[in-house]
Structure 1
Amino acid sequence: MKNNYLTIAKTGEHEIEIKKSRFICQMARATSEEGAADFIAAIKKKQYKATHNCSAYLIGENNEHQRANDDGEPSGTAGVPMLESLKLMQLQNVVAVTTRYFGGIKLGAGGLIRAYSNSVTEAAHAIGIVRGVLQQALRLTIDYNQVDPVQHFFSERPFPIEKTDYGVQVTFTVHIDVTAIADYEAALTDLTNGRITLARGAEEFREVPYTDKAAPRYEN
């Protein structure tokens, strides 16, 4: 398994409306093609009155399994744009189904491509994206007069203080990416002029909210 990957936080859906057509994108995690197929089938059964139920999925550490389906839309205007949106966001092990209820106004090939692309991108960001990463616990023990600068240090960085223990000194516990922990130890030692005790804990694979990238959107 990779030390770092992106995926959706949970199963969910998001709807957009374009020229009276409704585009409802439902997304879920999938670790096998069978699981993705089951999810697609369930959505088609649920949305059986829809004009189209287009789908795409990316599965595998290196996207070994990927598929797109236009479900009756003009070739290349639905499933492939959905798949490309998943790739652009660098998501892994995700399946998406966009249900369209036709509103009476034709969008044209370009309009369909933008609509299906945006349905996936906006759904992923509405549902939430998480980063799976190998992290290591770091316990840092400091004097009370170092508390404010250390708290400020972490308030400006992506690894929050998760636990605080008060005693003769103060001990903070944080989880930091294994690839960055040495740099953080050096920075904290410099910040406190060496008046700090650092102790590494266990490594564990964790999922944390990912908000670094804005949702790329194709204008209609």
Structure 2
Amino acid sequence: MLFDDTYRTITGPAEGIFRDKGSKFIASAFPIRSEEDFKDQLAAIKAEHPKARHHCWAFRLSPDRNVFRLNDDGEPSGTAGRPILNTILSADLTNLGVVVVRYFGGTLLGVPGLINAYKTATAEALKEAKVVEKTVNDVYSLHFDYLSMNDVMKIIKEEGLAILKQDYEDKCVIELEIRKGQLNKVLDWLGKIEGLEHRYLHTV
């Protein structure tokens, strides 16, 4: 299969700490679904550590892992955000952010020292995190007549699809997740049910 329909992320927040020559680096790793999620977390961490000299960070988003940002927040270029991101990449994780807060200890660490500190703090946080494998799913809404209910439910049951919403007022409407790898087969079967319309909503 060309498209890998699984990805690895973390289930909840985790923290790692690294100390060097009096400087203290506190890494916070957390799962995110969007850039807005990340900005909210970053703001909360800045509020929690207002006296810290730097709040350096990186995040990676999307199941195909191609959306990422990083920031050195005043540290020499390439010594903070990049090592944080590289640690996320080497752990093969996505849909997460890491913020490393630095309390300056009075002694300069130099470029290799900084790279090591940000990398190690991030690695410590990821070591504490619980990693989970998730599937890439497309969310569809199905609209059909009540008479087709059994046919639709049979497909949902056989393929183990997750129903997100259902409404059987006038016409039957079901919103469900279909794993990418199952998509063609499921849509093919649904297409054979008379009068059923399906609409793609978004990918999760």
Q: Structure 2 length normalisation: TM-score?
A: 0.63
User: Which residue of the partner structure matches residue 81 of structure 1?
Assistant: 83
The answer to whether the aligner puts 1:97 opposite 2:99 as a matched pair is yes
Q: Secondary structure at the match of 1:132?
A: strand
Amino acid at match of 2:43: A
Q: 2:73 aligns with which of 71, 74, 77?
A: 71
User: Which residue of the partner structure matches residue 131 of structure 2?
Assistant: 129
Amino acid at match of 2:125: A
Amino acid at match of 2:23: S
How many Å separate the matches in 1 of 2:91 and 2:63? Answer: 15
Question: Does structure 1 conserve the Cα–Cα contact (< 8 Å) formed by 2:16 and 2:123?
Answer: no
The answer to whether the aligner puts 1:62 opposite 2:64 as a matched pair is yes
State the Cα distance separating 1:84 from its structure 2 match.
1.0
State the Cα distance separating 1:4 from its structure 2 match.
2.4
User: Which residue of the partner structure matches residue 157 of structure 1?
Assistant: none
How many Å separate the matches in 2 of 1:16 and 1:85? Answer: 15
Question: 4+ residue stretches of structure 1 with deviation over 6 A?
Answer: none
How many Å separate the matches in 1 of 2:80 and 2:42? Answer: 15
State the Cα distance separating 1:106 from its structure 2 match.
1.2
Q: Structure 1 length normalisation: TM-score?
A: 0.58
How many equivalent residue pairs?
139
Question: Does structure 2 conserve the Cα–Cα contact (< 8 Å) formed by 1:19 and 1:105?
Answer: yes
Question: Does structure 2 conserve the Cα–Cα contact (< 8 Å) formed by 1:55 and 1:95?
Answer: yes
- Give a deviation string over 1:60-112, Cα, whole Å, max 9, x none: 11223210001110111001110111111110100010001111221100110
> 1:10–1:204: structure 2 CA closer, same or farther, 3 Å change rule?
farther
Question: Does structure 2 conserve the Cα–Cα contact (< 8 Å) formed by 1:33 and 1:65?
Answer: no
Q: 1:24 aligns with which of 18, 23, 26?
A: 26
Question: Does structure 1 conserve the Cα–Cα contact (< 8 Å) formed by 2:10 and 2:131?
Answer: yes
Identity within the alignment, %:
38
- Runs (5+) with no aligned partner, structure 2: 137-157, 163-204
User: Which residue of the partner structure matches residue 11 of structure 2?
Assistant: 9
Q: Secondary structure at the match of 1:120?
A: helix
Amino acid at match of 1:93: N
State the Cα distance separating 1:133 from its structure 2 match.
5.4
Q: 1:38 aligns with which of 40, 58, 61?
A: 40
Q: How does 1:182-201 map to 2 (within 5 A)?
A: none
Q: 2:50 aligns with which of 48, 51, 54?
A: 48
- Runs (5+) with no aligned partner, structure 1: 135-200, 206-220
Q: Secondary structure at the match of 1:66?
A: strand
Q: Secondary structure at the match of 2:30?
A: strand
Amino acid at match of 1:54: C
User: Which residue of the partner structure matches residue 160 of structure 1?
Assistant: none
